[in-house]
Structure 1
Amino acid sequence: MKYFLQAIAAPVLASVSLIAAAQSVAGPEIAAKSYMVLDVTANQVLLEKDIDMAVEPASLTKLMTAYLVFGALRTKKLSLTQTLPVSTKAWKMPGSRMFIDPKMQVPVEDLIKGMIVQSGNDATMALAEGVGGTSERFVEMMNAQAKVLGMKATGYRNPEGLTEAGHTTTARDLSILSTRLMHDFPEYAHYDGMKKYHYPGTPVSNENNRNGLLFRDPTVDGLKTGHTDAAGYCLIATAKREFPNVGSRRLLTIVLGTASDNARLNESQKLLNWGYTAYEGVELFDANQAVATPNVWKGKEATMKLGRPEAIVVAVPAGNAAKVKTEIQRPDPLVAPFTKGQAVGALKVTLGEKTLLTVPLVALDGVEQAGILGRAWDSIRLWIK
């Protein structure tokens, strides 16, 4: 069966596995089975522990459900005002709930709020059935989408995250999903930061978002909590703080398998504060600024500009910005044609012997192939060279 998969153009990000080697600042003691600090602005892992260890994601699963729901909204398969039925299966879901029942027709937007803010398993199931037709088909979509996103160690068995054999992921895969969710669907990010929600006509239980950092730290604006007995207490938190040298910096922290709700909040806060103080953001090049202007052979233009459509920012251990060095890595010779946005080499950023960042460079403008005479002349020049 074929499904629509989100193949939305993502920024060409440097490899998480490569950047993990850039850790050079001692991190705080963290009581979690697995954790990570990711500088989203620079796309650098600042700190990690066991990020490839298989874990149960609990309600962090709902991030993938949200990804597919947002995709359905973008393609007009769903609308925010559209109402969905509540099946008996959704109504009987155990665990955290929004408290909807089969007598209700619930707007999609309210189900999204119920899923994200209240972590409602019933709301999640209603959305999954609304997008996939059945929860089983929706799970197939989840696993297919995970492959598209490059989540190589994730297997989904349900949309909500209840414990089930084979329902596992890793902190690395969760970082991929989280960053793509924020990048691909910024128009829905406000749901992650909602502090309270209650659907009219349902029992008033806990209206507060389960992400307690939203109430502790005004710079935190997401992302999702998770808890089962098997998974422990988990939290993916993201914050955005302003800095004079680079503007805003967004960090994302992942803590998995802590002992309590308070522990996941405390450990996440420690990681956020550490990431913002131990590292500083340095903007190396503006968006669309030429990082290099190499010669081009057999083209209508003699040179081409290489850069990135977004600013190139690197996270550097505090106080070391002046020691950062850059190196252009590219094929030689460069033979036209080139299309705008085509990958052409990379920018390697180092601090001492450590590689901080490797950023793919693209052609900022296209270069058409020269005419026959121009190509022939350059062929002779290349032969002599």
Structure 2
Amino acid sequence: MPSSLVKKITTNGKKLLTFVGCIAFSISSLSHASAIIPSPPQINAKGHILVDFTTGKVIAEGNADILLAPASLTKIMTSYIVGKELQSGNIKNNDPVKISKNAWATGNPIFKGSSLMFLEVGKEVPIHEINQGIIVASGNDACVAIAEHIAGSEGAFADMMNAYAEQLGMSSSYFENSHGLDSTEHKTTARDMATLAKALIRDVPEEYEIYKQKSYTYNGIKTVNRNGLLWDKSMNVDGLKTGHTAQAGYSLVSSATKGDMRLISVVMGANSERSRLVESRKLLNYGFRFFETYTPYKAGETFATNRVWMGDKKEVELGILEDTPITIPRGQRKNLKANFELNKQLVAPLTKGEVVGTVFLQLDGEDIGQYPMVTLQEINEGGMFDRLVDYIKLQFTH
């Protein structure tokens, strides 16, 4: 618990109470010297970004907002919609999908030379097979099949994709198809892809489980997951998706965990299959080596008490209603400080959970997070005599 002192400040002519104190962290295992954080690595790609999944902190980026062809990274959005449809009960894993001519692997000319699940026209294939075909085999035919099954046509499914993109805050993305084969206006950004990856992991965890699957066999044809980082024993990568077309270059969205930290890396437009793996590994290693996700306060934890006037209790416990995860350079916990500001004089009655101020988390004098400060208990009005005494004291305080 932080040690605090009380001082008066004046805002708009009114005196308020502010608590200023250091968070009491255990730093016995940390060096007393300031941590040296090198600059992010140079990434050989058209665009890239590295994001902390929990906090949304951008650790590294380069050309993260330029419009790029996503290629098969598109399938992350297709998969996200499948996950949401399964979650809502609109479709079920064992539902049969009738394969149309549009989804016929060898009958649709747009599929020539691309990655396929090798669906046959007229067959009925259960959704759980189609889903693996999209995620693991990166089947363009599987994408068309599920798009037609869910929305009736691929055009209508693209409308769903764009609606979800808007809902998720992917403000620079526009989808024209479900698979990612090159199309004129079919574009996204590295930042938007990180946003989508975060949504997939957060919103449809059962769907995300499939992304760590290393191979998939359908109709006697085995396909190996192209995300080579799944085999990298030096890091715990459990997704996401590769992409490649002549226009897009080689891309990879990946996610990995280390302890309580999860990172999302996006590399778009690398010059080779090997390069997208090397550049993604560089980003992930940099994030895990030099940064950490740390939660100094837990929801409901008391970090301060304050005087209450005219109440049946003299003090009220103050805290927050949510955890406070932050991304900080490793070795910097000892330099974290908390600044607690009350926005009003605390006079009973007070309800539990009432917002009475703000908590600012600071590192080297810079605010890196802020949260509503609330009362953690109910305070009722005190007796008439106590209220009279407090009223008189308040006049002198003012």
Contact 2:316 2:379 in 1 (8 A): no
Q: CA deviation at 1:124?
A: 1.1
Higher-Rg member (1/2): 2
Q: Structure 1 residues 365 and 348, CA, compared in 2 at 3 Å: closer, same or farther?
A: closer
1:74 aligns with 2:87: yes
1:225 aligns with 2:242: yes
**Match of residue 141 from structure 2:** 122
Q: Structure 1 residues 125 and 269, CA, compared in 2 at 3 Å: closer, same or farther?
A: same
Contact 2:318 2:374 in 1 (8 A): yes
TM-score (normalised: structure 2): 0.76
**Match of residue 154 from structure 2:** 135
User: Which residues in structure 2 correspond to 1:1-385 (within 5 Å)?
Assistant: 25-91=38-104, 92=108, 93-94=110-111, 95-199=114-218, 201=219, 204=221, 207-217=223-233, 219-242=236-259, 248-290=260-302, 303=316, 305-309=318-322, 311-328=323-340, 331-332=343-344, 347-355=359-367, 357-361=368-372
Contact 2:97 2:124 in 1 (8 A): yes
Contact 1:299 1:367 in 2 (8 A): no
- Bigger drift between 274-283 and 175-184 goes to 274-283
Partner deviation per Cα, 1:114-139 (whole Å, 9 max, x = no partner): 10001111111111112112111111
CA RMSD of aligned residues (A): 3.4
Q: Structure 1 residues 344 and 34, CA, compared in 2 at 3 Å: closer, same or farther?
A: farther
TM-score (normalised: structure 1): 0.79
Report the residue type matching 2:227 in the other structure: N
Q: Which whole-Å CA distance do the structure 1 matches of 2:151 and 2:355 have between them?
A: 36
**SS of 1:197 mapped into structure 2:** strand
Unaligned runs of 5+ in 1: 1-22, 243-247
Q: Which whole-Å CA distance do the structure 2 matches of 1:295 and 1:153 have between them?
A: 49
- Bigger drift between 256-265 and 171-180 goes to 171-180
Q: Structure 1 residues 30 and 106, CA, compared in 2 at 3 Å: closer, same or farther?
A: same
Q: CA deviation at 1:26?
A: 0.7
Q: Which whole-Å CA distance do the structure 1 matches of 2:131 and 2:301 have between them?
A: 39
Contact 1:295 1:304 in 2 (8 A): no
Contact 1:308 1:364 in 2 (8 A): no
Partner deviation per Cα, 1:86-121 (whole Å, 9 max, x = no partner): 111111251211001113211111111110001111
Q: Which whole-Å CA distance do the structure 1 matches of 2:174 and 2:350 have between them?
A: 42
**Match of residue 25 from structure 2:** none
Partner deviation per Cα, 1:261-307 (whole Å, 9 max, x = no partner): 10000111111111111123333123443456677899999857442
Q: Structure 1 residues 198 and 316, CA, compared in 2 at 3 Å: closer, same or farther?
A: same
Contact 1:60 1:226 in 2 (8 A): yes
**Identical pairs, percent:** 34
- Bigger drift between 223-232 and 38-47 goes to 38-47
- Bigger drift between 357-366 and 268-277 goes to 357-366
Contact 1:139 1:159 in 2 (8 A): yes
Unaligned runs of 5+ in 2: 1-35
The number of equivalent residue pairs is 348
Q: Judging by fraction of residues, say which structure has more strand.
A: 2
Q: Structure 1 residues 297 and 209, CA, compared in 2 at 3 Å: closer, same or farther?
A: farther
Q: Which whole-Å CA distance do the structure 1 matches of 2:69 and 2:350 have between them?
A: 48
Q: Which whole-Å CA distance do the structure 2 matches of 1:174 and 1:250 have between them?
A: 16
**SS of 2:284 mapped into structure 1:** helix
Q: Which whole-Å CA distance do the structure 1 matches of 2:351 and 2:65 have between them?
A: 38
Partner deviation per Cα, 1:339-374 (whole Å, 9 max, x = no partner): 96x98865443322444x32544758697998xx9x
Q: Structure 1 residues 274 and 337, CA, compared in 2 at 3 Å: closer, same or farther?
A: same
Q: Which whole-Å CA distance do the structure 1 matches of 2:121 and 2:352 have between them?
A: 54
Q: CA deviation at 1:208?
A: 0.7
**SS of 1:240 mapped into structure 2:** strand
Q: Structure 1 residues 98 and 47, CA, compared in 2 at 3 Å: closer, same or farther?
A: same
Partner deviation per Cα, 1:126-161 (whole Å, 9 max, x = no partner): 111121121111111111111111111111111111
Contact 2:53 2:263 in 1 (8 A): yes
